[in-house]
Amino acid sequence: MQTRGIRGAITISADTKENVLSATHELLDAILVANPNLRGNDIASAFFTTTEDVTSAYPALAARQIGWDLVPMLCAREIPVPESLAMCIRVLIHWNTGLSQKEIKHIYLRDAKVLRPDLANN
């Protein structure tokens, strides 16, 4: 078994706790549907980032709310690159799996589809 990365991102329309948690739930749910073998016990860690305009809640709280209680998680701020996508939540999940990198499904939702158009339609 190897550790693989699953990437995902989603945008919100306004920086509220409800929007951050709801969008993060939506993103994680989509990742779980796209990768049906993904289980909490197989997640080595999850790393969330937000753009500097998202400060009202930690996205990792949404992961805790779906039962990822033992998964080590960290939240951080994206570097403020000029003209980068605003109001964005990103995640990198480290998954212990026997799947190849080609079999992993990455999820980009809402306006975040522009970040990886090559992967947005997986």
How many Å apart are CA 115 and CA 42, to the nearest integer?
Answer: 27
In this prediction, residue 80 carries a pLDDT of 94
Residue 119: band (very low, low, confident or very high) from pLDDT cuts 50, 70, 90: confident
DSSP H or E run through 2: strand 2-11
In this prediction, residue 111 carries a pLDDT of 98
Task: Quote the CATH superfamily of domain 2-115.
Answer: RutC-like (3.30.1330.40)
**pTM of the entire predicted model:** 0.96
Q: Which residues contact 3 (CB under 8 A, 6 or more apart)?
A: 44, 94, 95, 96, 97
3-state secondary structure of 34: helix
Residues annotated as catalytic are 7, 64, 75, 78, 90, 108, 116
Report the share of the chain in percent with pLDDT over 70.
Answer: 98
In this prediction, residue 68 carries a pLDDT of 97
